[in-house]
Structure 1
Amino acid sequence: MKGPLFYAKILLFGEYGIIKDSKGLAIPYNYYQGALKITNENSESAKKSNDNLLKLYTYLSELNSDLVSFDLDSFKEDVSKGLYFDSSIPQGYGVGSSGALVASIYDKYALNKITVLENLTRDKLLQLKLVFSLMESFFHGKSSGLDPLNSYLSLPILIKSRTNVEATGIPYQKDGKAAVFLLDSKIIGETEPMVNIFMNKMKNEGFRKMFSEEFALHTNSCIDNFLQGDVKSLFSNVKNLSKVVLENFKPMIPSDFHKLWKHGIDSNDYYLKLCGSGGGGYILGFAKDYEKVKHQLSDYKLELVYRF
């Protein structure tokens, strides 16, 4: 058995904001993917994945929800045969490794599932997001459900609020100088501790004020600019967002990258932002001249995401 492929995702804008009901924009990232497999392979990674799927089976079998039900007998039987998630998506990197896994389990074992071929009304998208939030909570303690939704649909997703989600189109890539890229921190990040830091910070009135008046505002502007193809305004707002994150989300930025982050803002050559919850993994970058930045950051591993 080999299941269909599910892709990684990149949350271009909206990290932490989507937990607190501001906008988000996520796009599929087809460079990495994963699929469910049953083989006789006894590699360490396959065994570890199989053990994880057994725990996920237990978690799903104990769920008491009217939202979704699963063919648990088939799931358990497949796990006993050596089911694992064969994935190239790096874990702890903010590109949706658990999201792709959750999407694949839903696709294979959910009963009365919503399929990607249906007319995906807002209600259906919201129901999918809630189901995925429930499932992915197994991995992160708290999940928006966005990563699995993006992976399942393999479409750009615009989050307008917690109860307003829609599939969207993004401007076609152009062979321009500007680009969105990933910078590899070479540190594995963990979502749950970072989210806990954020939730504790939100208890502080000053942080809450900054979050709504600056962070959410710049994030929403970036999303509007990106979808409208307004590159000039986009870079202005990404710079503002990068500054706010450096000043207020330092624990989420690996300390070795604070200087590099600031250099981008000061030089205006590139701007860095969190990719997912931070704490390691990938850092997302925006460059006006990608070739120039590639040369500047030649000591780091960069991956091109989108050109414009």
Structure 2
Amino acid sequence: MQKEAGDIFYSKIMLFGEYTIIKGSMGLTIPYSHFNGQLAFPNRDSYTDLAFAQRSNQHLYEFWYYLQSLANSGELLSDFNTDRLKEDLDDGLYFESTIPEGYGLGSSGALVAAFFQKYVSNPGINKTELSPREIRTLKEQLAQLESWFHGTSSGIDPLICYMKHPLLLRDLDHIEPIGLPQYNEQHSEAIFLINSGKPGRTAPLVQNFMNRYHHDKVFYNFVKNTLTPLNNACINNLIENQKEKFYNSLKELSAIQEEFLQQMVPSTVRQIWDDGLNSDEYYLKLCGSGGGGFVLGFTQNYIKTRKILENKGMEVIPVYQDLRKNDKTIVR
């Protein structure tokens, strides 16, 4: 009898808070349904890439060994059914995903969320009514699972993928679901992604940021006194629907990211980054750790902006439009 695939889990986008969240700033993250993944079994009636499914299955066996070692030592924080997972892996379980790796969209977060949903006992949980303490506990459990993929994890990526709802991070320990204001279709406001054309590498960029933060007094002051306040202003202005203030603070954030975080800005988008600042047609910022992957954009005239960028040979992918098509609408 053919086993059924698991629930679909979306990628994520951190709208604001990349890097600074590590040092206590606010963060705002949303699920993004354009890219997604689910646990699946090879099916003779589908067009699955069997070689990919087998590679994924072997990768997940290694993940199971990690979980089983935690369970055997009594260190596993969640009630994870490792025996059931082993049975499913023996039957060919793999992760079918369209989420590109190294693009800042939480590919491992979606996988961890899918595992948590399928193998951890949470009967009848209402994800939108969790208490702050329950959310913190959930984040810790998810962080432990995702740490196998990256060596360490804050738990934020799998948390947003699991919750499937925008989350406001007042700091790493104070997280709450939140609704975002509706964009005005008459003015064609939009959030979008630009493909830089190459994946990024998170670990060395984060390490570089941390080294500069702890050993460069000028950079430390910049992060604490300029970058973090601007990041928080963008979040507060957006959730309070203060559009003029939002775009003003966003333009400042875009400018200082390009100036002071040059290593994180992909070389393929630097010219159009400048063009946006100079024309005020759109503003770009980092999406995730940067260095490659996607760049996040905001505009008050999406039709015009898309034409401008596509004429420059850039791939533009809308964000907020896809989110509103989702039956679990996150934009309000």
Same fold (TM over 0.5): yes
* Structural mapping, 1:251-290, within 5 Å: 251-290=263-302
Of all paired residues, the percent bearing the same amino acid is: 40
Task: Find the counterpart in structure 2 of residue 89 from structure 1.
Answer: 99
8 Å CA contact 2:19, 2:289 repeated in 1: yes
Q: Distance in 2 between matches of 1:132 and 1:34?
A: 17
Q: 1:193 to 1:69 in 2, by over 3 A?
A: farther
> Over residues 55-105 of structure 1, what are the superposed CA-to-partner deviations in whole Å (9 max), with x where a residue is unaligned?
211222233536324111111221121111111112211111111100011
- 1:245: Cα distance to partner? 0.8
Task: Find the counterpart in structure 2 of residue 53 from structure 1.
Answer: 60
Give the residue type in structure 2 aligned to 1:157: L
Instruction: Give the secondary-structure state (helix, strand or coil) at the position aligned to 2:319.
Output: strand
Task: Find the counterpart in structure 2 of residue 249 from structure 1.
Answer: 261
Instruction: Give the secondary-structure state (helix, strand or coil) at the position aligned to 1:297.
Output: helix
Q: Distance in 2 between matches of 1:189 and 1:202?
A: 21
Structure 1: tracts of 5 or more residues without a match? none
Task: Find the counterpart in structure 2 of residue 44 from structure 1.
Answer: 51
Give the residue type in structure 2 aligned to 1:191: T
Instruction: Give the secondary-structure state (helix, strand or coil) at the position aligned to 1:171.
Output: coil
8 Å CA contact 1:133, 1:144 repeated in 2: yes
8 Å CA contact 1:24, 1:160 repeated in 2: yes
Task: Find the counterpart in structure 1 of residue 30 from structure 2.
Answer: 27
> Over residues 232-263 of structure 1, what are the superposed CA-to-partner deviations in whole Å (9 max), with x where a residue is unaligned?
11111111111111112111111222222122
Q: Distance in 1 between matches of 2:22 and 2:154?
A: 7
Give the residue type in structure 1 aligned to 2:298: F
8 Å CA contact 2:230, 2:252 repeated in 1: yes
Q: Distance in 2 between matches of 1:79 and 1:190?
A: 29
Identify which range, 203-212 or 35-44, moves more after superposition.
35-44
CA RMSD in angstroms, aligned pairs only = 1.9
* TM-score with structure 2 setting the length: 0.88
- 1:292: Cα distance to partner? 1.5
Give the residue type in structure 2 aligned to 1:43: L
2:309 aligned with 1:302: no
* TM-score with structure 1 setting the length: 0.94
8 Å CA contact 1:114, 1:128 repeated in 2: no
Structure 2: tracts of 5 or more residues without a match? 322-330
Q: Distance in 2 between matches of 1:244 and 1:48?
A: 42
Task: Find the counterpart in structure 2 of residue 13 from structure 1.
Answer: 16
Task: Find the counterpart in structure 1 of residue 136 from structure 2.
Answer: 126
2:251 aligned with 1:239: yes
Identify which range, 208-217 or 62-71, moves more after superposition.
62-71
8 Å CA contact 2:183, 2:189 repeated in 1: no
Task: Find the counterpart in structure 2 of residue 153 from structure 1.
Answer: 163
